[in-house]
Amino acid sequence: MRALQHFTAVAAVGLSALLGAGLHASAQIKIGAVLSVTGPASFLGEPEKQTLQIYVDAINANGGVNGQQLQLIVYDDAGDANNARTFATRLVEQDKIVAMVGGSTTGSTLAMMPVFEDAAIPFISLAGAIQIIEPVHKWVFKTPHTDKMACEKIFADLKSRNLTTIAMISGTDAFGKSMRDQCVAVAPKAGVSIAIEESYGPRDSDMTPQLTNIRDKAGVQAVVNPGFGQGPAIVTRNYRQLGIKLPLYESHGVASKQYIELAGPAAEGVRLPAAALLIAEKLPASDPQKPVVVDYTRTYQQKTGQSVSTFGGHAYDGLTILVEAMQRAKSTDTAKVRDEIERTKGYIGTGGIVNMSPTDHLGLDLSAFHMLEIKGGDWTLVPGT
């Protein structure tokens, strides 16, 4: 049965290629994606690819965009920026795509940006770094929130608790470093002073010396831990081991159930900023994002059998913003589509409410993040955030 289906599919493709090559191809909108589906960043690329596939199929089943079917062309850069650039060139020159969604990592995005700038094709990146949109590049957009916003969210929460002097302990991995730099940069503006800074290697198994120094530093009122992976879980455990009573803030990098499991009871009372997607069921019914994130979560889990991550959500937002822009433009002309992407206003996505402008190619504000506190081994929303 499987083989038969396969055969029919192949035959159908073959037939359409033979009969209606010109006719069919012109009726399709080609969308490109270069994602890190395998390799060290596969935790980004895999859900992104699945999401794009699911929603492109769904859009096509509903009659496509402006009466035309979408054709998704995905290449896997395996986390290598050189591959990404090669594939980007292929998408432009051979596949002749209308627009591009994807670039899983900051490295691959930065490598691909000049290709799409030169070819004048809209490029919606799914990578985190702020360098992608600052300074603004005419053809480049992105959907994920930036580390800077996470820092600002944490600092705003500190302010509401009248805490102004903090200690930072950061991972030396790419995520930890980037967020640490952003936090240090925005701290003065937020009225927060950093009294002491420590760091740890991403695979270290004990951070008590660094935390001892923090504990013994006079004047520290709270501790912020930008990091990703296992490090923050160990920091949290060591924090309780040393009996430090100050408020502890983790980053959005550990906003997953896994962090609570690994840190165990030590995670009680820890606060962290997180996107709405991770707490879909916990959002109040009045939250405008609730229907979107609940719907995406159900669809993704039903189709893939895996739990959602924010990364797949970024791909959903990228695709939806692009499709809506094409609908408004009533055309697939790249310049018109670009202009409409830039005019995106009030789009409610998984990452937040997007209001783009010629000077802001991300369009998210701090409301994209919710401040969470861990209570009884589960997330709770901090009121007023």
Partner 1 sequence: MAQLLQFISSGLTVGAIYALVGLGFTLIYKASDIINFAQGEFVMLGGMTTVFVGAAGVPLPLAALIAVAVTTAIGLALHRFAVAPARGASPVVLIMITIGASVFLRGIAQIVFDKRFHSLPPLIDSDPIQFGGAAILPQSLVVLASATVIVIVLWLFIDRTLLGKAVIATAANRLAARLVGIDTRRIVDFSFAVSAAIGAIAGILITPIALTSYDAGTLLALKGFAAAMLGGIGSAPGAVVGGLSLGMIEAFSAGYLSSNYKDAVAFLIILLVLFWMPQGLFGRAKIERV
Which positions touch partner 1 (CB under 8 A)? 42-43, 172, 198-201, 203-206, 208-210, 212-213, 216, 229-230, 233-234, 241-243, 258, 261-262, 264
SS3 248: strand
How many H helices and E strands in the chain? 12, 14
**For residues 159 and 245, which CB has a smaller minimum distance to partner 1 in the complex?**
245
Select 124 or 207, whichever has its Cβ closest to partner 1.
207
CB of 32 to partner 1, least distance (A): 27
Least distance to partner 1, CB of residue 206, Å: 5
Task: For the CB of residue 371, give the shortest distance to partner 1 in the complex, in Å.
Answer: 24
- CA separation for the pair 373, 185 (Å, rounded): 25
Q: Which is nearer to partner 1, 229 or 313 (CB)?
A: 229
Burial 125-150 (b: 16+ CB within 10 A, else e): bbbbbbebbeeeeebbbbbbbbbbbb
Q: How far is the CB of 196 from partner 1 (least distance, A)?
A: 11
Identify which of residues 133 and 166 has a Cβ nearer to partner 1 in the complex. Answer: 166
Whether 334 contacts 342, CB under 8 Å: no
CB-wise, 128 or 231, nearer to partner 1?
Answer: 231
* Cβ–Cβ < 8 Å for 150, 371: no
**In whole angstroms, how close is the CB of 326 to partner 1 at the nearest point?**
36
Peptide bond connecting 135 to the previous residue in cis, omega within 30 degrees of 0: yes
Ramachandran assignment for 151, one of left (phi > 0), alpha (psi -120 to 50 degrees), beta (any other): alpha
Phi, psi of 179 (to 5 degrees): -70, -40
Show the CA angle centred on residue 102, arms to residues 99 and 107, nearest 5°. Answer: 125
Kindly compute the dihedral angle of the four CA atoms of residues 226, 230, 236, 237, in this order, to the nearest 10 degrees: -160
Q: Are 231 and 200 in contact (CB under 8 A)?
A: yes
Alpha helices in the chain (DSSP H): 2-26, 42-61, 81-90, 106-119, 147-160, 174-190, 208-215, 231-241, 257-263, 290-304, 310-329, 334-342
DSSP secondary-structure letter at 72?
E
In the complex, minimum distance from the CB of residue 200 to partner 1, in angstroms, rounded to a whole number: 6
Choice between 7 and 43, CB closer to partner 1: 43
CB of 236 to partner 1, least distance (A): 12
* Residue closer to partner 1, measured from CB, 63 or 201: 201
Minimum CB distance to partner 1, residue 341 (Å)? 34
Output 241 or 367, the one with its CB closest to partner 1.
Answer: 241
